[in-house]
Amino acid sequence: MKPLTFAVLRLLADGEFHSGEDLANMLGVSRASIWNALKEADAMGLTLYRIRGRGYRLAEPVQWLDKSRIISALGAHANRFKLELIDCIDSTNTLLMQKASGAVDGSVLAAELQTRGRGRRGRHWHANLGGALTFSLLWRIDQGVGFLTGLSLAVGVALLRALKSLGVSGAALKWPNDVVHHNCKLAGILIEVQGDVLGPSLAVIGIGMNLKLSERTKAVIGQQTTDLYSVTGLVPERNHALACILRHLAQVLDIFAVHGFSGLRKEWVEHHVYQNKNVRILLPENGTDEGIVTGVDTAGALLIKTSDGERRYNTGEISLRAGHVL
Ligand code: BTN
């Protein structure tokens, strides 16, 4: 995506019509360049009205990320984070992992738009410009990578706490680390780690939270998905929402640093949407098991009471067995 496209879209942030000529004058480029730049708006998942005689207007004005707003909303937690905002990147996780060796603890990379957002299990993570929060946080610890087991579930707890303080009720967790609302995905977590068995190590914690996805983006995702706007009828201010998540991450990571996932397990289980439900788990080699979810262990593995006794699962996809709710 061209830097000029972002510059033009910023001028359209007020949701008003702007003529091509005015936009061109403000940016010191030709009208043809404006027209060309805005051709990319469709690919960004935006709906742009182009009306002869009036100019251009965004159907849904974009709320841009703003460092000073995020810092002020972080309050006392501000010195814990080093923020970097970027207009367009393939994936914040990919870039932060590449930069990890020279990056300080608390580095946050947030993107207005990802062109190749990555999800778990090799999936894509789609979000249109302004429709979501997509960012990654680098967290360093002295312990080895083994200590990070269960971290993705702990991050789910932080997201639920943040959603609660943003006034969102009814959100829940789905093992291993989806945040859902009525079984539709609201947010996802992708954690990548680097380090030694004996330490030190680091985690890049990638978070995507849907705020108000465009219809086009929802159609592309093609799985049961939702956003905060669909759930509450409101879209939280993006900078405020990002700061709120970071504040809750800081608190949860402090607990994790001392107790590991054990310190958050009870809270996680209380919010597990399939706790005590009869589920089917699809295993990596395409096998399946069935049984009742009894909880998770201190490493974040799922515990299911099957016909062969209680089993623990480190990976897999779970779904509810219809008609078997306890
Ligand atoms: C999932 O549920 O599959 C995980 C989705 C994680 C998406 C976020 S968006 C910010 C960060 N950068 C990425 O490429 N992925 C994560």
Cα R_g (the chain), whole angstroms: 21
By alpha-carbon position, which residue is closest to atom 3 of ligand 1? 119
Ligand 1 proximity of 91 Cβ (cutoff 6 Å): yes
| Closest ligand 1 atom, residue 135 Cα | 10
Is pLDDT of 310 > 70? yes
Find the 189 Cα to ligand 1 centroid distance in Å: 6
State the average pLDDT over residues 235-263. Answer: 97
CA 7 to chain centre: 25
Weakest mean pLDDT among 121-130, 153-162, 230-239, 314-323:
314-323
Q: Write down the pLDDT at residue 322.
A: 66
Give 286's pLDDT tier (boundaries 50, 70, 90): confident
Find the 188 Cα to ligand 1 centroid distance in Å: 6
Give 323's pLDDT tier (boundaries 50, 70, 90): low
Handedness of CA 293, 123, 322, 183 (dihedral sign): positive
| Closest ligand 1 atom, residue 177 Cα | 2
Around 59, how many Cα atoms within 13 Å sit in the side-chain half-sphere? Answer: 14
Residue 173, sorted as left (phi over 0), alpha (psi -120 to 50) or beta, turns out to be beta
Q: What is the mean pLDDT of the chain?
A: 95
Ligand 1 proximity of 206 Cβ (cutoff 6 Å): yes
> ω before 236 within 30° of 0 (cis)?
no
| pLDDT tens-digit map of 164-197 | 999 999 999 999 999 999 999 999 999 999 999 9
| pLDDT tens-digit map of 33-51 | 999 999 998 888 888 999 9
The answer to whether 90 and 110 have CB atoms below 8 angstroms apart is no
Q: Write down the pLDDT at residue 72.
A: 98
Ligand 1 proximity of 116 Cβ (cutoff 6 Å): no
Round to whole Å and give the CA distance between 63 and 130. 6
Q: Write down the pLDDT at residue 47.
A: 86
Round to whole Å and give the CA distance between 224 and 37. 33
pTM exceeds cut of 0.85: yes
Nearest Cα to Cα of residue 87 among 28, 26, 205, 5? 5
Ligand 1 proximity of 125 Cβ (cutoff 6 Å): yes
| pLDDT tens-digit map of 113-161 | 999 999 998 999 999 999 999 999 999 999 999 999 999 999 999 999 9
Find the 193 Cα to ligand 1 centroid distance in Å: 14
Find the 51 Cα to ligand 1 centroid distance in Å: 36
Q: Write down the pLDDT at residue 42.
A: 81
Find the 152 Cα to ligand 1 centroid distance in Å: 12
State the average pLDDT over residues 222-235. Answer: 93
Round to whole Å and give the CA distance between 276 and 206. 29
| pLDDT tens-digit map of 99-113 | 999 999 999 999 999
Helix pair 20-27, 31-38: axis angle to 10 deg: 100
